[in-house]
Structure 1
Amino acid sequence: MNHPAVNFVGTNKPESGGALVLIAEDEPEIVEIIKAYLHRDGMRTAHAKDGRAALELHLAIKPDLVLLDVKMPHVDGWQVLSELRRRGNTPVIMLTSHDQDIDKLIALRVGADDYVVKPFNPAEVAARALAVLRRTGSNGVAERGLLRCGPIEVNLESHQAHVLRNDAALPLSLTLTEFRLLAHMARTPARVHSRAELLVSCLPEGDSLERTVDSHISKLRKKLEAADVPHLLVSLRGVGYCLKSPS
């Protein structure tokens, strides 16, 4: 299929080499600057000029990270982000010209991993991209679809989670919601996730009450404790939940 709004850059073999970053941005000048800095830091890039092309290309090449502009033709960045979160856990950094707290809250609530305001320093964008890739294990070398947080290993493709102990992998028996919660938090260890964010990202077809999240988190914590992984899942009163960063 031809994609007139898609430009592949260094993606002849997306399965090899450095991390593959999809740049969804409709301003060519910005794209060229970002590409130069990402390439300098060893990353490969592909470019989509509008939201519809970004969604098509995401399915086609399975990028390690998406740099996503909020204002794009056909499908805006918020809609693209929502669809990406329904599909899975590809890391996303939002690019926007609006320095408003409400935009930042929406981005994080819907599931963005970071947020950069235009005009930005392209070196900072590249640094943030590398930081997100390190946090999520999507660095072009780590196995795709595999997240690790301390002794916990989460396989996004098989929907299985294990506790790694002395070269052994103890499976965790989780419900679909518990798995979604664990995977969502394992993507960004140490970042606090609000109940509202977890509700939107992990229980899209379930109850609309935030206390439902508390119930699922409580059950997940008990299963982690039973597997001899205490104190990994942390509660911050009045704020939300997070997984401790690996020591």
Structure 2
Amino acid sequence: MSEHSAPQPPARILVVDDDPTVAEVVTGYLDRSGFAVEHAADGPEALLRAEERRPDLVVLDLMLPGLDGLEVCRRLRETGPIPVIMLTARGDEDDRITGLEVGADDYVTKPFSPRELVLRVESVLRRSRAAAGPAAPRTVLRAAGLTADPGTRRATRAGDELPLTLREFDLLAYFLEHPGTAHTREELMRRVWGWDFGDLSTVTVHVRRLRAKIEDDPARPRLIRTVWGVGYRFEPRQDGGAA
């Protein structure tokens, strides 16, 4: 047996875009960056290719013939966790937020720098592989009836397992590790996402999604508090006793 482990195969990237020019540029940059790239021109073809050979990450255009990117993302996520970066030509923030809410890990707005897209792909893949790989033994995090086990990446609320996405789990674990501390959105983006750049609405959306899963009343959160002018604070001690 060789003393050296076999080289890791290149990550498989599925690019889904009906614009031939954009698809050529994106696949070209990703290919030159060492990824194994496939292209699908519409939603049904994307789902078929993903079923035939599951990609490590999908670069997904929002506006597609057949099925739009939001529906494709929903259906991909129904089959299991898969990193998704959305491409959108729209300037409406609601469209970008909707993409994050259906499970996209990140988005890039057209026109974009292909090099920036490659950096986003590398960042999302790093986090995804770290989550999927063997983890060093770590203490299960507990507070306010919540648990997060970094080893198994399982989280519970009052004993019931929480259906958290990759980022939602990381965000919850970070809050549980730092109770009572106010964090800016920039800090959360660096610590949880591992990004030094990006749209901070990504953090806002994921905090909202996490609140919907752990708060008794997400409209009046008591665990993840908004610290006006700063960001967010996880407060496991609830004023006034039990709700």
Find the residue that maps to 1:194 and give its secondary structure.
helix
Structure 2 vs 1, CA of residues 98 and 148 (structure 1 numbering), >3 Å: closer, same or farther?
Answer: farther
2:168 paired with 1:181: no
Find the residue that maps to 1:111 and give its secondary structure.
coil
**How far apart in 1 are the matches of 2:52 and 2:60?**
17
**How far apart in 1 are the matches of 2:233 and 2:14?**
29
8 Å CA contact 1:104–1:115 kept in 2: the answer is yes
Find the residue that maps to 1:237 and give its secondary structure.
strand
2:36 paired with 1:44: yes
Q: CA RMSD in A?
A: 3.8
Aligned length: 183
Amino acid at match of 1:190: V
* TM-score normalised over the length of structure 2: 0.62
Whichever of the two has the greater Rg, that structure is 2
8 Å CA contact 2:128–2:166 kept in 1: the answer is no
Equivalence for 1:237:
226
Find the residue that maps to 1:190 and give its secondary structure.
helix
Gapped regions of structure 2 (runs ≥ 5):
1-7, 141-147, 172-190, 194-202, 217-222, 235-243
**How far apart in 2 are the matches of 1:54 and 1:22?**
8
2:104 paired with 1:103: no
8 Å CA contact 1:41–1:126 kept in 2: the answer is yes
Identity %: 34
* Residue pairs, 1:138-217, within 5 angstroms: 145-146=132-133, 151=138, 178-181=161-164, 183-186=166-169, 190-191=192-193, 192=203, 193-195=206-208, 197-198=209-210, 210=212, 213-214=214-215
Q: 1:128-174, CA deviations, whole angstroms, 9 ceiling, x for partnerless residues?
A: 1111111211xxxx79x548599489xxxxxxx9655xxxx8x9695
**How far apart in 1 are the matches of 2:92 and 2:169?**
27
Gapped regions of structure 1 (runs ≥ 5):
1-15, 154-160, 200-209, 216-233, 243-247
Find the residue that maps to 1:72 and give its secondary structure.
coil
Equivalence for 1:135:
127
8 Å CA contact 1:65–1:91 kept in 2: the answer is yes
Amino acid at match of 1:77: G
Q: 1:191-214, CA deviations, whole angstroms, 9 ceiling, x for partnerless residues?
A: 54233x348xxxxxxxxxx3x532
8 Å CA contact 2:155–2:161 kept in 1: the answer is no
**How far apart in 2 are the matches of 1:35 and 1:128?**
14
Amino acid at match of 1:194: V
Equivalence for 2:60:
68
Counterpart among 83, 97, 100 of residue 91 in structure 1: 83
Report the CA distance between 1:181 and its aligned residue.
Answer: 2.0
